[in-house]
Amino acid sequence: MTRMMKTLKSAWVEGGFHWTWYLLAALLFGWPFLGFPLTDGDIAHWVGWAHRIGQTGYFLSAGTDQAHGPLLPWVTGLFEAFFSGFWVFNVLNGACGVLGLGLVYHFARRFWGRVDVAQVAAFFYLTSLITVYLSRTPMYDWPAAVFYFGFCGFLFFYLSAHRRSDLIWALVMIALSSLCRFSISLGLAGIYTLLLLWILRIERPIRMGVIIGALVAVVAVLVNLPWILVQAHYHPRFIPEFLNDNVLRFFRDHPEDAPKGGRYLFVLDVLLGIFPYTFLLVTSIFQKQFFRNLKQDVVLKVLLAGLMPCLLIFSFSGHTKMLRYIAYVYPFLFVLMAYHFTLFDAKRAEYVKRTRLFLGGMAVLALGSLGYFAVQFAQEASEGIPFVVAAVGLVVGLLVLTRWVIARPNFVAHPGRFLWPYLALYLLFFTVLSAQMETVPFLKKVHDEIRTQLQIADQALARGER
């Protein structure tokens, strides 16, 4: 215990990236482990599948959710065989959130050889609202996004330094990503590979592109084919659902649906998702320095090659525009913003002053927006007043805290010293949310839907169905 306390004290004093960051991430993405709140109704679509796996061990033949990839139900079912509670459903997403922290730090450090940029990137990643939300919402997109980010980073390093271990890790990452979102992961990987070959001016790019494409296709087929064949045997409608989910859903949700509009919604989602660091992206893009850096720095081009195809493709698709669908862009954004802020913006007193004013304005705007929604959804707000107060406190607290942190002269050198107040804000909010989940009707509805699907799965098992 004494050694542990000394280690924590050392991490606090040094304020750099430390193994304790992984512990803090695991705590943040799993709190409270008893009474873990699940807030997305779509989770109910796959928990029955995972429950069957946990009860029977039929990893390949248990029914699917709209032919989505099997990794999330597999991992959940494996843990559910030994543990119980809603936290089990979030094991994969929480673990991927922790993995993403390590990848962001590792890649940012290898990109430029600078510890300060890597630490700030990891800080932005860990304290951003989108990372916390996706790492606590067990759906397929976030694991696919983290593994895709890993593929992009390792492939870049392989083509730059030709280390075989980087290529192996890239293939492992894209294989895991394909087990979450098959066509999206492989499609984005193909586009990224072509852009990377062009950016790096690789000799004989066609030959290299064919080799990488063939390797990616082979590993994706090897890890997915057994599951696909068994599913096709036991579930006759699987192949049409698989084709719809991986091809046709780009144009519309279902064959009978009309294409969805809102092409600019995902741009707004990006700005909303990186809260409370929205200003970093906005102020970076609208500076001449950003475009000068983009012309000179190959890594910045690589980061844009990783995130822009996803943003553009999903924006022009006919699919429903949901925040988690563009989860793939966020790890790249955190690294990009950390680079620009650490090396350029943080050193400018004028920028820091303008940023503090901007954050103050955002706090006022956030309060006004929350007040508007409280009036629009007055009944729901009155049913869960503690939840509403906690949500307002979280949003305003993050803005006020960030306004203070950005102005600290030692933030870039010691970002770890400022993790703790962010952690306290999030943990307080999720404690209140957990306490309200079973008493507030509009929150309890999600848990009730999940329990219903678990009961249906138990009834199917009792009838001998797989």
pLDDT tens column, 402-421: 888 888 888 989 999 999 99
Report whether pLDDT(310) > 60: yes
Report how many domains make up the chain: 1
pLDDT band at 318 (very low <50, low <70, confident <90, very high): low
Q: Is residue 235 part of a domain?
A: yes
Mean of pLDDT values over 129-155: 96
Mean of pLDDT values over 105-133: 95
Which residue in 281, 304, 269 sits closest to 134, CA to CA?
A: 269
Q: Which two tokens stand for residue 208?
A: 């290299």
Quick one: pLDDT at residue 250? 64
Q: In terms of residue numbers, what domain contains 303?
A: 30-344+442-455
Q: Is residue 89 part of a domain?
A: yes
Quick one: pLDDT at residue 245? 77
Mean of pLDDT values over 431-448: 89
Mean of pLDDT values over 379-393: 81
Report whether pLDDT(185) > 80: yes
For residue 250, CA distances in Å to 8, 95, 321, 370, 449 come to: 48, 28, 11, 33, 27
Quick one: pLDDT at residue 131? 96
Q: Percent of the chain, pLDDT > 90?
A: 46
Q: Is residue 381 part of a domain?
A: no
Quick one: pLDDT at residue 281? 79
Report whether pLDDT(149) > 90: yes
Quick one: pLDDT at residue 64? 83
Quick one: pLDDT at residue 353? 74
Q: Is residue 366 part of a domain?
A: no
Q: Is residue 59 part of a domain?
A: yes
Q: Is residue 383 part of a domain?
A: no
Report whether pLDDT(261) > 60: no
- Please state, rounded to an integer, the average pLDDT across all residues of the chain: 86
Report pTM: 0.92
Q: State which of 254-268, 328-342, 376-390 shows the largest mean pLDDT.
A: 328-342
Report whether pLDDT(262) > 60: no
Q: Is residue 162 part of a domain?
A: yes
Report whether pLDDT(7) > 60: no
Quick one: pLDDT at residue 240? 84
Q: Which one is predicted more confidently, 355 or 442?
A: 442
Quick one: pLDDT at residue 344? 83
Q: Is residue 124 part of a domain?
A: yes
